[in-house]
Structure 1
Amino acid sequence: MKSPLVAATAALCLLGQGATAVSLTINDDNSIKSAASTIAFGLMKYYTGNNTGDTPGNLPDPYYWWEAGALFGTMIDYWRMTKDTTYNDVTMQAMLHQAGTDGSFLPTNQSLTEGNDDQGFWAMAAMSAAEDVFPNPPSDQPQWLAMAQAVFNQYVGRWDPHCGGGLRWQIFSWNKGYDYKNSVANGCFFNIAARLARYTGNQTYADWALKVWDWEKKVGLIGPQYQIFDGLSIDSDNTCGQMDQNQWSYNAGIYMHGAAAMYNFTNNATWKANLDGMVKETVAKFVNNGIIYEQFCEPRGFCSVDQSTFKGYLIRYMASTIQLAPHTIPTLMPLIETAASAAASSCTGPASPTFKGIDGTGCGFTWIPKGTYDGKNGVGSQMNALDAVIYALVQKAPAPVTEKKGGTSKGDPGAGMGNIDPAGDLDKITKPTTGGKVGAAILTLLLLCSVLGGSAVLLL
């Protein structure tokens, strides 16, 4: 691990060089790691959660809570790809604080606004920590695998009969979007279930992954050419309403990775066909002259703070797909390498009030045309570039482990649901029963009372 003195000295040396740029030679591992280190330094300068008086795991405005979960998912993979431990302690602190005492990522600081997709991005980061063999938390804290299982169990409890199934976008009925079922919330469910199936070998997780996939196809959110559409409303009669057919790169990536995990777990030709269809559609939709881009908003110049992060996640899931399904390497690896080169060439922005990293290394958002800095810096732009650069190393990185092959993270099949599974029998948890439905209703009531009680304190 780098000492604080060494890290600070290195940063000062770089600062002393004046205006610079991120240099990258794509076939030189040391060059890639050096570029990644510089970009990571700039990214983590946005993080304030470890400052005195701030909340560990939170990013400042205008960034939402889920984006912090995505950031620490990136930093976990940064460690796996580069073996640089500089940010491991702050990543551990953030993940444990936001996981809460039961590890389900329902912290009180987010209880009024958290959605299913928000919770899912933190859970996917925890799943990556288990698969990457990221250092385990202290034994008295929730463990990485158990965190992912906790969120899975809560997703099962929220499976909603309106519109024939699926998760709602929001967890709580008072939040805007509760009457909307979107692909990203259900994609988090699918992705986590598929990866849990592969990691643990438990068929119940695979059954739920298939259930989510089949529902998405049935209602048309997965199109005939494997398009992943944004979502659909729930009409007043509780049937499926109008569909938003916008396509976003992170949705494509989440489902691609989940399909790769299912193919890896089952070695089933149907899942291979699903995966190959996803890859084909993703390349057709989100690649412009060999460069990955956010096709809906990037050419028009109006990507929001959230949307400005999406293509980095796509690259992350493409890299994971390569490791789980090596037959995709010829298609996906050249795109990652091109993205790495294009992203690094955009990292020439000056230090400023909106970029506190090393002068001349602020990353722009768009990578088209290659070699230009568009001035749109921020967490999204910096994280996209870091994702692109680190995953250029993916073929030399350790493959994701499983519980029986290299995994060290301890699981808890009853996590997130109270001590209801002393025998560790997951099937009894996930099969819907009258008792389970009553228990879920009681749990929801308790959560509601807790939230309202907290609101009353705030009002007083």
Structure 2
Amino acid sequence: MLFRSLSQWLSLCLVAHRTCNALTLDTTSADSIKSAASSVAYGMMKYYTGNNTGDTPGNLPSPYYWWEAGAMFGHMVDYWYYTGDDTYVDVTIQAICNQAGTTGTFMPSNQSETEGNDDQSFWAFAALDAAELNFKAPTTGYPSWIAMGQAVFNTQVPRWDTSTCGGGLRWQIFTWNNGYTYKNIPANGGFFMLAARLARYTGNTTYVDWATKSWDWFEDSVLYDNATFQVNDGTSDLANCTSADHTQWSYNYGLYLGGLAYLYNHTENDKWLTPLTGILNATLTRFFPTADGQDIMVEVTCEPYGTCDTDDYTFKSFTLRWLATTAQLVPSLSAQIWPYIAASGAGAAGQCSGGTDGITCGFEWNTTTWDGTYGVGQQMSALSAIQANLIPVSDLKAPVTKATGGTSVGDPSAGTGSSSGGDSTSADGVTTKVITTGDKAGAGILTAVALVLTLGGAGWMVLS
């Protein structure tokens, strides 16, 4: 065969290379899923520079925000759980511990000017994943995984703000940040899920109480429509939260799906099952439009228009992760959920055919022609879609609790600077303690100290 030009020959070689290397996925085969997940995880971790000399462990380079690194390492904990591959275990531990700090609060000085409540929560989720999946223990000198989650909870409780809108958390922690007057789903849904997961793992009713308080506020707010189960993005407290931003993002639904599933599994109270079922149906209807008989996930606000940004590319990953967890924790819903995850996993693998390696993942999973996009978010979303299929195929057990084999030992006073000496331990080994006024005050003092220390360097506003 003759080629008219060298460039034509090179183009055909590149196509052949991509064809040979493009991912294939059999969602019924554990080996196939593990192989595809391994390739995608490797592609994602190539973006990480935090373990390079002179860089900060746990940080991603520009244009990625700090919170996305926390989300990425949460998925790497999940990757170990799904596949059993320990390649990235040590780097994951190093990253999470370094950003948690010895207090476990995930309020590092290098983020003091920009950190929001939602940013902090996504790092806490990584630690909670590690606790619930019995991941290798943290580095000596750092709190346990579950104590890190408790430390974040203890810093967020004093931020519950009743001065406007009857309650809720502000998006931002510090007054100088854009978004401080915005009470949104990532902050409040994050707090709700945090409380729900701590309730289930520890058995401490204080966390159930706070999850209930957070849910009741959300349910009565403009952020939620009880009739249609629509979840809106946020609301301004400058108008006392009387109108909502109706932008639809999948992970806003995912936060409440996951939180409700944890609470229902823990309490078996239909108060949680009814909205869980409603939000699940709304999620599947809105974000999994049927195309060619395949219910493949679409980030509907930006993906069809080619307007997704760096953050938006990550959102599918969280929704799919929490859909999979819901299927585990609420078996009555599993048959409804798994076909959507299987279709999305196959679609995501089909998009992993780009880049110079031929297996870089794009974002439009309804086509096997690479969409030309690439980055941590695209890899993260594809990884979540692909590896979740190992749960039914390998019959992976649900996240554990302290009562069902969890090895991470809690500290209800974590992050407050006080000891746990007054805690009581029940016969089943669950440590419980009501979070007292003193505990809350301690957390508030820590927050205030952080605020004072960073005021001098906050000469301009940054959107986190």
Q: What TM-score do the two structures reach when normalised by structure 2? A: 0.89
Please state whether the residue corresponding to 1:232 is helix, strand or coil: strand
The alignment partner of 1:348 has SS state of: strand
Aligned residue number for residue 6 of structure 1: none
- Matched position secondary structure for 2:303: coil
For each residue in 1:281-330, what CA deviation from the matched residue of structure 2 results, as whole angstroms up to 9, or x when unmatched? 11111111111111111111101110111011110000111111011111
In the alignment, structure 1 residue 447 sits paired with structure 2 residue 450: yes
Does 2:365 align with 1:364?
A: no
> Cα gap change, 1:140/1:223 in structure 2, threshold over 3 Å: closer, same or farther?
same
2:407 maps to 408
Q: Name the CA shift for 1:333/1:441 in 2 (closer, same or farther; >3 Å).
A: closer
Asked if 2 retains the 8 angstrom alpha-carbon contact of 1:414 and 1:424, the reply is no
The aligned counterpart of 1:47 is 48
> Cα offset for 1:211?
0.7
SS of alignment partner, residue 171 of structure 2: coil
Pick aligned residue for 2:205 from 203, 206, 222: 203
Contact 1:229 1:244 in 2 (8 A): yes
Matched ranges for 1:252-267 at <5 A: 252-267=253-268
AA of the residue aligned to 2:222: G
326-335 vs 136-145, which moves further: 136-145
Q: Deviations over 1:215-262 (max 9, x none)?
A: 0111121212221110100116xx224310112101111110100011
Q: 2:77 maps to which residue?
A: 76
Structure 2 Cα separation of the partners of residues 51 and 139 of structure 1? 22
SS of 1:404's partner is: helix
**Equivalent residue, structure 2, for 1:373:** 370
- Which whole-Å CA distance do the structure 1 matches of 2:432 and 2:204 have between them? 9
Report if the CA contact (8 A) 1:168-1:181 is conserved: yes
Which 10-residue stretch deviates more, 26-35 or 444-453? 444-453
Q: Within the alignment, does 1:118 sit opposite 2:119 as a pair?
A: yes
In the aligned structure 1, how far is the partner of 2:267 from the partner of 2:435? 20
Cα distance in structure 2, aligned partners of 1:301 and 1:334: 26
Structure 1 equivalent of residue 170 of structure 2:
168
The equivalences for 1:267-416 within 5 A come to: 267-289=268-290, 290-351=295-356, 359-368=357-366, 370-395=367-392, 396-416=395-415
Q: How many angstroms apart in 2 are the aligned matches of 1:417 and 1:249?
A: 33
Report the AA paired with residue 32 of structure 1: I
State the 1:424 CA deviation.
2.6
| Alignment partners' CA distance in 1, 2:31 and 2:156 | 42
Deviations for 1:174-225, whole angstroms, at most 9, x for unmatched residues? 1110001001111111001111111111111011111111101111212122
C-alpha separation between the residues in 2 aligned to 1:278 and 1:240?
Answer: 22
Q: Bigger shift: 442-451 or 36-45?
A: 442-451
Kindly, what percent of the aligned residue pairs are identical? 53
Residue identity matched to 1:218: D
Matched AA of 2:453: S
Aligned partner of 1:186 in structure 2 is 188
1:308–1:381 CA contact under 8 A, matched in 2: yes
Distance 1:138 1:94, change over 3 A: closer
What is the CA–CA distance in structure 2 between the aligned matches of 1:30 and 1:437, rounded to whole Å?
Answer: 48
Q: Which amino acid aligns with 1:302?
A: T
Sort the Cα spacing of 1:437 and 1:77 in 2 relative to 1 into closer, same or farther, 3 A: closer
In the alignment, the residues of structure 2 paired with residue 258 and residue 382 of structure 1 have an alpha-carbon distance, to the nearest angstrom, of: 25
**Whole-angstrom distance in 1 between the partners of 2:443 and 2:268:** 35
Q: Per-residue deviation at 1:452?
A: 3.6
Query: Distance between the aligned counterparts of 1:217 and 1:197, measured in 2?
Result: 20
CA–CA separation in structure 1 for the residues paired with 2:208 and 2:440: 22
Opposite residue 71 of structure 1, the aligned amino acid is: M
Distance 1:455 1:243 in 2: 29
The number of equivalent residue pairs is 429
Q: Once the two structures are superposed, what CA deviation does each residue of 1:37-77 show, in whole Å capped at 9, x if it has no partner?
A: 01111110011111111111111111100000000000000
- The offset of 1:420, in angstroms, is 5.3
Native 8 Å contact 2:254 2:319 kept in 1: yes
Question: Could you tell me which residue of structure 2 aligns to residue 108 of structure 1?
Answer: 109
TM-score for both structures, normalised by structure 1? 0.90
Gaps of 5+ in 2: 1-13, 425-430, 460-464
Q: Distance in 1 between matches of 2:67 and 2:35?
A: 28
Alpha-carbon distance in 2 for matches of 1:346, 1:440? 45
Aligned residue type for 1:130: A
Residue 226 of structure 1 aligns with which residue? Answer: 229
Cα pair 2:258 2:322 within 8 Å, conserved: yes
1:274 shift after superposition: 1.4
Cα contact 2:82–2:388 (8 A) shared by 1: yes
SS at structure 2 position matched to 1:366: coil
The CA distance in 1 between the partners of 2:242 and 2:215, in whole Å, is 19
Equivalent residues of 2:25, 2:349 under 8 A apart: yes
CA distance in 2 between counterparts of 1:449 and 1:362 reads: 44
Paired residue secondary structure (1:63): coil
> Residue in 2 aligned with 1:156?
157
The Cα RMSD (Å) is: 1.9
- Do the aligned partners of 2:134 and 2:407 also contact (CA within 8 Å) in 1? yes
Shift of 1:270: 2.0
What is the SS of the residue equivalent to 1:430?
A: coil
Gaps of 5+ in 1: 1-14, 352-358
Is the CA contact (8 Å cut-off) linking 1:364 and 1:373 kept in structure 2? yes
User: What residue in structure 1 maps to residue 462 of structure 2?
Assistant: none
